[in-house]
Structure 1
Amino acid sequence: MNPKQPIIYLPSSSSVHFLYYALIILLSYTRISFGGGNETDYQALTGVYCGKRHRRVTHVVLESQGLEGSLSPHVGNLSFLRDLWLGNNSFQGAIPRELGRLFRLRSLYLYQNKFNGTIQTNIFGCSNLQDLRLFYNELVRNIPKEISFLSKLTFLPLGHNKLTGGITPFLGNNTLMKLFSTSGNPLGRSIPDTLGHWKNLEIVSFVTSSLSGTIPYSIFNLSLLTNISFDDNHLTGPLPPSISNCSKLGVLDMSENKFSGKLTIDFAKLRDIRYTQLSNNIFESKEADQMNFIDSLKNCTKLEKLGLGNCKFQGVLPRSIGILSNQLHNLYLHENQLHGNLPTSIGNLVGLEMLSLFGNQFSGNIQSTIGNLQNLKVLGLYENQLSGQIPHAMGNLSMLLHLQLYSNMLEGVIPSSLGNCNHLLTLSLNDNKLNGKIPTQILQLSSLSLILDLSQNNLFGSLPQEVGDLKMLSELYLYENNLSGNIPSSLSGCATLSVLSLEGNLFQGTIPPSLISLKALEELDVSRNNLSGQLPKFLEQLKLLEYLNLSYNDFEGEVPMLGVFANSSAFSIMGNSRICGGVIELGLPNCKETKDNTKRNPLFVIVILSASSLFIIACLAYAWYKNKSKRQPSQSATSERFMKVSYNQILKATDGFSEANLIRNGGFSSVYKGILDDRFIAIKVIHLQNRGAQRSFMRECEAWRNIRHRNLLKIITSCSSVDFQGNDFKALVYEFMSNGSLHAASALDYIHNHCEPTIVHSDLKPSNILLDDDMVTHVGDFGLARFLGTTSYQNNSTGIRGTIGYVAPEYGIGNEMTSSGDVYSFGILLLEVMTRKPPTDNIFNEGLSLHTFVSMALPDHVMDVIDVNILNAYQEDDIFMQNKEANVKKIEECLASILKIGVSCTLDFPSQRMSTKEVVHELKHILDIFQNI
């Protein structure tokens, strides 16, 4: 029986009260209230069904209802119950032993709650049970062997609990098993051979289960298997060639283990394989034909992803790589020991979106056939030994988002054709032997918003004025070249620039005062140039500037004392002999003494006395710098940039964590406002005593380490210390957003489409989207973020959590986190902003949701649901009122378009929703119309 189809049979008032009584028994300890009368009884019993024959409760379907408390043991009295679905609520406490009385029960859904204790051994009393879903709870100890008595059991997902004691061999008796998962449990031990008895098994997942030993060969004789996920364990030995027997296999994930030896799988038999991930293993072999398994993949016409990174593969990459499936989107061969030329046949893989070959020993030229990969979005060839010129055909890659060719031996000029890659976000050509001038075409790529790195080459000539066209760029690295002329004043157009690195060139003249407009600038390094003139006092007005290096130029005059100049460890001015003043730690003479001494001492005397010592200091500094610059500039700069704060400083900043400073409270953390070094900040104090909080802290730190965008909340630093009682203390310090919270789309587009790996926010809601003084939106709180396409701890934390009303419906049935879930949450936010009704508003019941409320108003009744304040705001404008009728019509059309976006984002099926890229495109189009009204 499908519980969504039957209608509650209510022939009389007595039947109503019987069902009412049954529900009270079931939920007697939950926080739920009912009114009086038959009608309210009926409304309260939505989701409770009874049979027509016995008029007894047969189905209870109360998933995702926000229910709390413990589950009553009286539930065992519902002896006719066949389906009990209570998933995605907040039940806690032990699972009642009395459930074992329900011998008619066929499906039991208790997933995604807070149940603790053990899985009760008397569960075997539910002899007809077919589907038992307990994933995402807090269950402990062993998987009871009594489950093996459930002879009809076919679905058993136990993932993301705290189960230990290994996988009991007795489970091999459940011969009808189709799906079994223990992912995210610290089970330990090895995989029992008896699981090979599951002849009906289709999906098996042991992700992050602390399993060790070898995989029993019997498992790979299960011919119906479609999904094998054993990643992130301690499994050893060679991968059995019998994997080839699983002819229906679509997903094979064995990454993050210790598999070794030669890879001998015959992929030719796996014609349905779509996803193969074997990265981060030790397939080390001295045999010359180590990579020949690639040949057997040519018949896998459905292959979409092939992950072979960091596996210690040696040898050359065979030409047969070019005859793989045209459906192949992702190819990972990075961090191996592959050498020789890149096969020209790679240009045949026209479906590729990501090609990751970095960290090998590839040599020779990059062939022009690379230009055939016109769907490519990420190309990582860095840290190899590639030589020759960058092919002009690289400009054909018009969909490219990230181009990383750094740390090779490439030479010649930078091809102007790269200006055709008008979606580029990152261009890294540093640490090569490139020469010539910087092409103006790449400086006119308005898409460049993350990194442009041309450092450590032999580029010469001036920095073109067109550099000011990079209005969205965050980081610009041009250090260690032979660039000359003046620093162009047009750099002031780079309004979002946070890092500007020009050191080690031949720039002359002054630092243009127009750079005062770079309000987002955090790091500025112009050291080791020929700059002169007065020390630029205007730099003290850049409030975000945290690192400044003016060393080894010819600046003169007084050192300012405000802003970045107030902290002697935040800036360097050595090698400028004609400066004075500044903070006392610098040890410079005051400016009056300098003037007097200059009158008394001839210039040549000063030069003679200081030249030798300055030369020695300069040589030491240069040697230190060369060693430092070999590291990634963004990493080194980051380590210098973050200040250190103690528990005591945070305690004082928040006035002892007073309630007056409390902004909001959550399960994993509390957020306080405070003042630190005369700067308003927001401090997120982690509740380490709560389960999952430590993982949330680590996940958020990892997210902030990997991302940077103007619409993401700015993190200042973190604190990992102990309090005055000796307890662990962890906190994150953010920029304070003074104007509360609202919504954003560009930041979502960035983390979904322009980050590697892709990040899913997982908890998008109004309180996590903040407005600064300039009403610019910033997305924050990455404590529940997921990193797609990786096997690091971020993906393996227990519990899919979110906020009721904003969580995508597919998460309620245990689906994996995807960017479509963020799209759903954003759509709800968008509809809430436009209607001023939260998704949990009291009007949304009996099947009416925020989504249906708006969709029913489209297209002719838009103004019936729109917040009246939106239109009223425009009617206060005199210019608007001069052509009111036409303008009102335009606005209504725009509002309707926005609502359509929100409705499209909140469709039930993820595949039907818009992508964040499409959302941003449509919203920008609507904004253009608004601005012309």
Structure 2
Amino acid sequence: MKLTAMGPFFLVLIASCIHVVICSSNGNHNDRLPLLEFKKAISLDPRQALMSWNDSTHFCSWEGVLCSVKNSIRVISLNLTNRGLVGQISPSLGNLTFLKILVLSTNSFSGEIPRSLGHLPHLQILSLQNNTLQGRIPTLANCSKLTELLLANNQLTGQIPVDLPQRLENLDLTTNNLTGTIPDSVANITMLQMFSCAMNYIEGNIPNEFANLLRLQVLLVSINKMSGLFPQPILNISNLVELSIAINDFSGVVPSSIGNSLPDLQAIELDDNFFHGHIPSSLTNASKLYSIDISSNKFTGLVPGSFGKLSKLTWLNLQLNKLQARTTQDWKFMGSLANCTELSELSVAYNYLAGQLPNSVGNLSSMLQGLFLGGNQLSGNFPSGIANLRNLVTVSLFGNNFTSVLPEWLGTLNSLQVIQLSDNFFTGPIPSSLSNLSQLISLDLESNQLNGNIPPSLGGLQMLQELLISSNNLHGTIPKEIFTIPTLVRISLSFNRLQAPLHANIGNAKQLTYLQISSNNLSGEIPSTLGNCESLEIVVLGHNFFSGSIPASLGNISNLHFLNLSHNNLTGSIPVSLSGLQFLEQLDLSFNHLKGEVPTKGIFKNATALWINGNQGLCGGPPGLHLLACPVMHSNSANHKLSVIWKIVIPVAIVLVFAAVFAFWLFRRRNQKTKAISLPSLGRFPRISYSDLVRATEGFARYNLIGQGRYGSVYRGKLFPDGKEVAIKVFSLETRGAQKSFIAECSALRNVRHRNLVPILTACSSIDSNGNDFKALVYEFMPRGDLHNLLYSTHSSEGSSCLNYISLAQRLSIMVDVSDALMYLHHNHQGAIVHCDLKPRNILLDDDLVAHVGDFGLARFKLDTAPSFVDSNSTSSVAIKGTIGYIAPEYAAGGQVSTAVDVYSFGVVLLEIFTRRSPTDDMFKDGMTIAKLTEINFPDNVLQIVDPQLLQELEQREDVPTTIIRDSRAQILHSVLSIGLCCTKTSPNERISMQEVAAKLHGIQDAYLRGN
């Protein structure tokens, strides 16, 4: 009875209590309202992450919200990571005064970080990484309990704050736009365990005070603008586990004690700096190291054999240094690496490793996936030890001197995905066993001496993306089977002896973006099915024997940027459909048998991007083409009214329509996003955009201008994000001939790769910020400038100014380098190239004074086996192309180009470098030339005309009598200058070839080195 009577009262009392609690919670607006304000600032919530944030649900139950119920109900955590939220971070979050954790990472928040977050006294973790936040980092000094500040991958600007919270343990500012230096005050955060400001624009060095950060385990400052010697404070941080100072401008020697000072080090990245000297052998005392990257520096000497002590080593990258190995003893490191049983990647590419690769390479870890040995001086047969590396994914041996046939066992390495064997001297057929490599993605066999047919069985490689076999001696047909590979993106088969028609199956290659099969013996009609390859961007079919008409279906390839059908036997008219290709930037139809009216729209309106010369039957077209008007057919039945319509109304209408179309086209072009393309000659290189080059040169700033020529300007720059220093040649397209110079240089560099040619990195063919055409080539930067500057610039010496001192050995070495480059261009390349503008300004020098021939803007290409050459990219011209003083007399007189033109220029340069007299000096007039001056004084008075510095060079030696020195010097100079005279004969038939020049100079150099 009593229980029954009290029941309703008890329930009412409980309900009242519950109501009080809920009302009290809902009445606490301190945290609920700031959250609602935060929601209001969200403009897009694609995953409905904030759907639960409504009045029917208590805010402590809202998604991402966590409350504390200890004393009062307050929000202590807001975690909305990876919800796809778009909007700004509301300053209202600064009112969540009990907040301990704020995680909004991996969304699309923009705007600035609210300053109000600096008023959260209990905040311990602030993670806003992976957004698009801008502005400066606000002061967070009042967040005295903050232990993690994670702001990576945003667009923050300004400097690193000097008043960071003192209890921070993890500070990550990676990938922003921060500037300035690292504040000394960071070193006051003695609890700091991880510090990263990588991928910003930080300058200076690491502060000395960092030596106090004894708890620091991770230090990442890579990809900035930092400089100076190796940061010594690092050596005091003995707990360091991961160190990366890569891609900066640090220089000097890496301390020999680094491995002893940092015994716990597990990963070290020093790559892309300017460190020199030997690799510290103490590195191997850091026995926990699993990753070492010291690539792209100037390390010399041998690879330490002690690397084998690092039993946990998985990654070793030593590429792009000056490391040597010639003897069996030098190669001991390869055997020692067999002890690194977990090694998966090894690169010693681009060094000075020579001779045969030892068989001990086969003893490397069974886990090895990447073996990179390219760009060295390795020779001998294909390394048989590689057969033991059963798990290899990438084998890279390009740019060496390997010979012999490719082994069939190569096809038994079933894990292979990338094969890079280009630029060697491999012979024999392509192994049919390669078709067993079901995972193969890239096959690069370019620039070898392979012969036989392309195996049709390669069509079974259903994952293949790149088939690169240009510049070999292949014959037969292009197998139709390869066009059935669904993943194929690039085909390069140029400069072979392939024949027969191109199979219609090519239309099945739907993913194909790059097709280069020029300079073969292909015949028949171009398949109309080529138009089905709608992904194509580059098509180069020039220098073949294709006949018939140009398929109108090519107009279906909407992404086409470059089309070259030149030097074939094509007939008929130019399809109007080509004028509808809005992305087409270069079209070469020259030297065919085309006839009829040239279309007037699209690419045909841009005379600088169009080549149609060598087609006698073409007429009409835009006025800029300067073609004859097409004949008009008259009708006898036309009456006066129809005549008026034809003569007045329709032309006016056409003009109006044309103007409207042109205006629309111009509007679209000016508003079109900048788009970079890889040109046919540069397809293997990475793409780069106009905006990338603007950033690299700081807006093409004048202080980055390092040279100007007739067709453009050259800027010094740094590419982001790797910080690689480059030279960027920007073409002045308003200058007549600049467009063709750009094409000529691209074509010349398409398949040439030689240590004495300026390395090209990539190209940009795009639209600038004003909507104008933009063309640029990006080269590896040569820090010592050009030969002209070396010869004639001065330096201070004891208060006076004098010419740079260049030793005889250096001059010999430079001319040997140049002769090797020209010999390669003339004789070792199937598409022989004549430079046509060799002069000291086009000979660039690296840090070691190794010479590199550059500027191929006037280059010409061999079209047949005859000794004469013509320009394949331009019509005849009366203007002299070249530089006065260096031009061969027959070329100056309008004769055809031949290799003898370069030989003459080389001879002038050779005489110039040893006499230090410019061929344009005032003394050379009235028929007197540098060659005649040498001839007059040769051989008896040679010492009277050579550079006086050469006579003084060895006279300072006390161990050899002066008379002997002068006699020896005279003999060397006599031999060198005689080569110059042989090169500068008036008749081109009397000049020696570059093969003879290079052989003679190498002999002189060897004799000189032996005698010294």
TM over 0.5: yes
2:139 corresponds to which letter in structure 1? Answer: P
**Equivalence for 2:438:** 398
- Could you tell me whether the CA contact under 8 Å between 1:675 and 1:681 is conserved in 2? no
**Equivalence for 1:261:** 301
**Equivalence for 1:237:** 277
**Equivalence for 1:801:** none
Structure 1 residue 680 corresponds to structure 2 residue 640 = no
Matches within 5 A, 1:463-502: 463-502=502-541
Give the distance between the partners of 2:531 and 2:614, measured in 1 at CA. Answer: 27
**Equivalence for 2:211:** 172
- Could you tell me whether the CA contact under 8 Å between 1:159 and 1:183 is conserved in 2? yes
**Equivalence for 1:298:** 338
Indicate how the Cα distance of structure 1 residues 585 and 273 shifts in structure 2: closer, same or farther if over 3 A, else same: same
**Equivalence for 1:417:** 457
* TM-superposed deviation, 1:300: 2.0
* TM-superposed deviation, 1:267: 2.4
Give the distance between the partners of 1:721 and 1:84, measured in 2 at CA. Answer: 34
Secondary structure at 2:419 match in 1: strand
2:294 corresponds to which letter in structure 1? Answer: M
User: Which of these two proteins has the greater Rg computed from alpha carbons?
Assistant: 2
Instruction: Report Cα offsets for 1:273-295 as digits up to 9, x if no partner.
Output: 22222222222466564443222
Range with bigger deviation, 288-297 or 343-352: 288-297
Q: TM-score, normalised by structure 1?
A: 0.57
2:422 corresponds to which letter in structure 1? Answer: Y
1:292 corresponds to which letter in structure 2? Answer: K
Indicate how the Cα distance of structure 1 residues 99 and 461 shifts in structure 2: closer, same or farther if over 3 A, else same: same
Give the distance between the partners of 2:357 and 2:369, measured in 1 at CA. Answer: 18
Indicate how the Cα distance of structure 1 residues 74 and 426 shifts in structure 2: closer, same or farther if over 3 A, else same: closer
- Could you tell me whether the CA contact under 8 Å between 1:13 and 1:38 is conserved in 2? no
Matches within 5 A, 1:640-659: none
* TM-superposed deviation, 1:16: 9.7
Aligned length: 622
Indicate how the Cα distance of structure 1 residues 397 and 550 shifts in structure 2: closer, same or farther if over 3 A, else same: same
- Could you tell me whether the CA contact under 8 Å between 1:363 and 1:385 is conserved in 2? yes
Give the distance between the partners of 1:409 and 1:140, measured in 2 at CA. Answer: 52
**Equivalence for 1:190:** 229
Give the distance between the partners of 2:295 and 2:130, measured in 1 at CA. Answer: 30
Give the distance between the partners of 1:319 and 1:706, measured in 2 at CA. Answer: 37
* TM-superposed deviation, 1:67: 8.4
Structure 1 residue 308 corresponds to structure 2 residue 318 = no
- Could you tell me whether the CA contact under 8 Å between 1:59 and 1:83 is conserved in 2? no
Instruction: Report Cα offsets for 1:298-330 as digits up to 9, x if no partner.
Output: 122222222322233333222222232232222
Identity of aligned residues (%): 32
* TM-superposed deviation, 1:436: 2.1
Structure 1 residue 247 corresponds to structure 2 residue 282 = no
Aligned mate of 1:354, from 385, 389, 394:
394
**Equivalence for 2:256:** 217
Indicate how the Cα distance of structure 1 residues 364 and 705 shifts in structure 2: closer, same or farther if over 3 A, else same: closer
Aligned mate of 2:494, from 445, 449, 455:
455
Aligned mate of 1:96, from 105, 122, 139:
139
Secondary structure at 2:428 match in 1: strand
Range with bigger deviation, 65-74 or 490-499: 65-74
2:221 corresponds to which letter in structure 1? Answer: T
* TM-superposed deviation, 1:106: 4.4
* TM-superposed deviation, 1:62: 0.8
Alignment gaps of 5+ in structure 2: 1-19, 44-52, 77-96, 635-659, 703-765, 770-779, 782-1012
Structure 1 residue 270 corresponds to structure 2 residue 320 = no
Give the distance between the partners of 1:147 and 1:384, measured in 2 at CA. Answer: 52
Q: Does 1 or 2 have the higher relative contact order (CA < 8 Å, sep 6+)?
A: 1
Aligned mate of 1:526, from 549, 565, 569:
565
Secondary structure at 1:204 match in 2: strand
Give the distance between the partners of 2:670 and 2:71, measured in 1 at CA. Answer: 59
- Could you tell me whether the CA contact under 8 Å between 1:485 and 1:506 is conserved in 2? yes
Give the distance between the partners of 2:422 and 2:341, measured in 1 at CA. Answer: 29
1:195 corresponds to which letter in structure 2? Answer: I
* TM-superposed deviation, 1:61: 0.9
* TM-superposed deviation, 1:414: 1.5
Indicate how the Cα distance of structure 1 residues 36 and 388 shifts in structure 2: closer, same or farther if over 3 A, else same: closer
* TM-superposed deviation, 1:70: 5.6
Give the distance between the partners of 2:539 and 2:123, measured in 1 at CA. Answer: 68
Give the distance between the partners of 2:590 and 2:542, measured in 1 at CA. Answer: 9
* TM-superposed deviation, 1:547: 3.7
Instruction: Report Cα offsets for 1:200-235 as digits up to 9, x if no partner.
Output: 221122233432222223331223221112222222
Give the distance between the partners of 1:54 and 1:467, measured in 2 at CA. Answer: 70
2:339 corresponds to which letter in structure 1? Answer: N
Alignment gaps of 5+ in structure 1: 1-9, 596-654, 656-672, 686-696, 730-779, 784-791, 794-933
Q: TM-score, normalised by structure 2?
A: 0.53
**Equivalence for 1:507:** 546
Indicate how the Cα distance of structure 1 residues 32 and 16 shifts in structure 2: closer, same or farther if over 3 A, else same: farther
**Equivalence for 2:198:** 159
Indicate how the Cα distance of structure 1 residues 16 and 485 shifts in structure 2: closer, same or farther if over 3 A, else same: closer
Secondary structure at 2:403 match in 1: strand
1:187 corresponds to which letter in structure 2? Answer: M
**Equivalence for 2:65:** 46
- Could you tell me whether the CA contact under 8 Å between 2:676 and 2:689 is conserved in 1? no
Indicate how the Cα distance of structure 1 residues 41 and 265 shifts in structure 2: closer, same or farther if over 3 A, else same: same
Indicate how the Cα distance of structure 1 residues 391 and 285 shifts in structure 2: closer, same or farther if over 3 A, else same: closer
* TM-superposed deviation, 1:130: 3.5
Range with bigger deviation, 500-509 or 37-46: 37-46
Give the distance between the partners of 2:512 and 2:111, measured in 1 at CA. Answer: 48
Secondary structure at 1:321 match in 2: helix
**Equivalence for 2:320:** 280
1:355 corresponds to which letter in structure 2? Answer: V
* TM-superposed deviation, 1:445: 2.9
* TM-superposed deviation, 1:419: 1.8
- Could you tell me whether the CA contact under 8 Å between 1:117 and 1:138 is conserved in 2? yes
Secondary structure at 2:343 match in 1: coil
* TM-superposed deviation, 1:13: 8.9
Instruction: Report Cα offsets for 1:432-487 as digits up to 9, x if no partner.
Output: 11112333322433432x22222211122333343343344233322222223344
Give the distance between the partners of 1:414 and 1:433, measured in 2 at CA. Answer: 11
**Equivalence for 1:317:** 357
- Could you tell me whether the CA contact under 8 Å between 1:243 and 1:265 is conserved in 2? no
* TM-superposed deviation, 1:427: 1.2
Give the distance between the partners of 1:203 and 1:51, measured in 2 at CA. Answer: 41
**Equivalence for 1:770:** none
Secondary structure at 1:434 match in 2: strand
- Could you tell me whether the CA contact under 8 Å between 2:25 and 2:73 is conserved in 1? no
Give the distance between the partners of 1:119 and 1:579, measured in 2 at CA. Answer: 65
Give the distance between the partners of 1:570 and 1:161, measured in 2 at CA. Answer: 39
Range with bigger deviation, 312-321 or 107-116: 107-116
Give the distance between the partners of 1:446 and 1:74, measured in 2 at CA. Answer: 53
2:291 corresponds to which letter in structure 1? Answer: V
Structure 1 residue 208 corresponds to structure 2 residue 247 = yes
Range with bigger deviation, 46-55 or 305-314: 46-55
Structure 1 residue 338 corresponds to structure 2 residue 378 = yes
Give the distance between the partners of 1:109 and 1:522, measured in 2 at CA. Answer: 43
Give the distance between the partners of 2:526 and 2:217, measured in 1 at CA. Answer: 67
1:46 corresponds to which letter in structure 2? Answer: V
Give the distance between the partners of 2:254 and 2:529, measured in 1 at CA. Answer: 62
- Could you tell me whether the CA contact under 8 Å between 1:500 and 1:525 is conserved in 2? yes
* TM-superposed deviation, 1:381: 1.3
- Could you tell me whether the CA contact under 8 Å between 1:180 and 1:203 is conserved in 2? yes
Secondary structure at 1:431 match in 2: coil
Matches within 5 A, 1:852-867: none
Matches within 5 A, 1:27-38: none
Indicate how the Cα distance of structure 1 residues 354 and 53 shifts in structure 2: closer, same or farther if over 3 A, else same: same
* TM-superposed deviation, 1:363: 1.9
**Equivalence for 1:227:** 267
* TM-superposed deviation, 1:175: 2.2
Give the distance between the partners of 1:453 and 1:485, measured in 2 at CA. Answer: 20
